[in-house]
Structure 1
Amino acid sequence: MLPARTFTRRTAVVLAAAALTTMSLAGCSRTIGVEVAPDAADPLCAEVVLAVPDELGGDLPKVPTDAQATAAWGEPGAAVTLRCGVEQVGPAGDCQHVDSGDGTSVDWIVATDGKDTWSFVTYGREPAVEVVVPPAVTEDHSTSFISDLAPAVTQVPATKECQ
C-alpha cells in the first residue's frame, strides 16, 4: 500500500494532466456561432439536423454549432451555416428547383446580399430551412453542394412547389 502523501501527489499529477488535456482539446474546438431560428424547437427541425451530411463540397467538414436546430460546415469566419425553423419566404424572388443525386428534390428561394453571400431558404416546407454561404466559401466552391442537403431538408414534407 502506498503512503497517503504519495497517493495524493500521484492523484494531483493525474488530475493536472487530465485538466491540461481537457483544456487543450477545448482549445481545438471550432464551434460556429449561429443565431437560433424562431421555430427551432419544431420537432421536424431535430430530424433535419440529425440527417445533415458530415461534409459539404468535398472538403467542408461538419463542425459544432452553439444553437439548437443548426449545423455548419467549414471553419469560423468561413462556414456554411444551416438554421431550421426560419420564417417561410414567399414565392417572390428566385425560386429554384434543385434535384439531388438520390432522386429527391427541394425548392429553394435563392438570394444574394450583393456582397457575394448567398442565402437559400426552402420554399413550401414548414418549418423552413435556411442555408447561408459566405464569400470565403464561394471563392473556392460553387453552391452546387446545396443539393447534398436534400436528404436532410426533405425530412420536412413539401406542401408547395416553385411555379
Structure 2
Amino acid sequence: MSKNRLLTAALATAAAAAALLLTGCAPIVAMQPAADANNAKCAEVTVRLPDVVADLPERQTDAQATGAWGDPAEILLHCGVAVPGPTTLQCQTVNGVDWIIDDSQKPQYRFTTYGRTPAVELVMDSNKVASSTVLADLGPAVSVLPITGKCTGASDLPEPAPIPTDG
C-alpha cells in the first residue's frame, strides 16, 4: 500500500474515532418539547443541567428544554410543562425546590415543580433510580426558576375561629 493510501486510511480511522467520541455510543433520546419549552427561563434551566444525575450520564435529546440521563434513558426532564394548580397530591421540598409527586403509575413516578414558572417535570422509574438523589442533583438547575408559591398542607391552614356558644 502506498504512503498516501496509508495516510488517508489513518486519517479516516482517526476521524471516525473522533466522531464516535464526540457523539458517544448512545443514540439521541427522542423527546417532545413541552408547550412552553421556548420560555427563556427554560433555557436557563437547560444550560445548568448536570452531566451526571444519580450516577447516570447525561444523554443528548432532540427536543428543546429537555434532558435525559442513563443508557437506556432512566430519567427524563421537560421544562415548560403546564404549571400545576392546587392539588391533593403529595408535595415534597428538596433543597428549596417544591415537587408534586404523582405515583399513580408505580414504579414510574412523575415529579412536577410546584410554585415555579415555568414548571419542570421529571419522569423516572423508582426501581432503577432513587428519586431523592435525582431531585437533589437537579435542584440547582431548577432553582433558577422564579418562585410563585410554596407547598402547603393542612398544618399550614389558619386555625378556625371558635364558634360562639350561647351561655
Q: Partners of 1:30 and 1:162 in 2: how far apart?
A: 38
**Match for residue 147 of structure 1?**
136
CA gap of 1:31–1:113, structure 2 versus 1, over 3 A, is: farther
**Match for residue 63 of structure 2?**
67
Residue 142 of structure 1, CA deviation: 2.4
What TM-score does the superposition give when structure 1 sets the normalisation length? 0.77
| Greater length-normalized contact order (CA 8 Å, ≥ 6 residues apart) | 1
2:114 maps to 1:123: yes
Q: Do the aligned partners of 1:83 and 1:131 also contact (CA within 8 Å) in 2?
A: yes
Q: Partners of 2:13 and 2:57 in 1: how far apart?
A: 29
| Letter in structure 1 aligned against 2:35 | P
| Equivalent position SS for 2:139 | helix
Q: Identify unmatched segments of 5+ residues in structure 1.
A: 1-5
In our comparison, the structure showing a higher alpha carbon Rg is 2
What TM-score does the superposition give when structure 2 sets the normalisation length? 0.76
Q: Partners of 1:153 and 1:93 in 2: how far apart?
A: 23
The percent of aligned pairs where both chains have the same amino acid is: 41
For these two proteins, the number of residue pairs brought into alignment is 149
CA gap of 1:40–1:12, structure 2 versus 1, over 3 A, is: same
Q: Do the aligned partners of 2:31 and 2:66 also contact (CA within 8 Å) in 1?
A: yes
1:97 to 92, 103, 127: 92
Runs of 4+ in 1 over 4 A off after TM superposition: 22-27
Deviations 1:37-82 (A, max 9, x none): 111111111111122222222x212222221111111112x42011
**Match for residue 49 of structure 1?**
46
Q: Partners of 1:61 and 1:71 in 2: how far apart?
A: 11
CA gap of 1:161–1:27, structure 2 versus 1, over 3 A, is: closer
Q: Identify unmatched segments of 5+ residues in structure 2.
A: 153-167
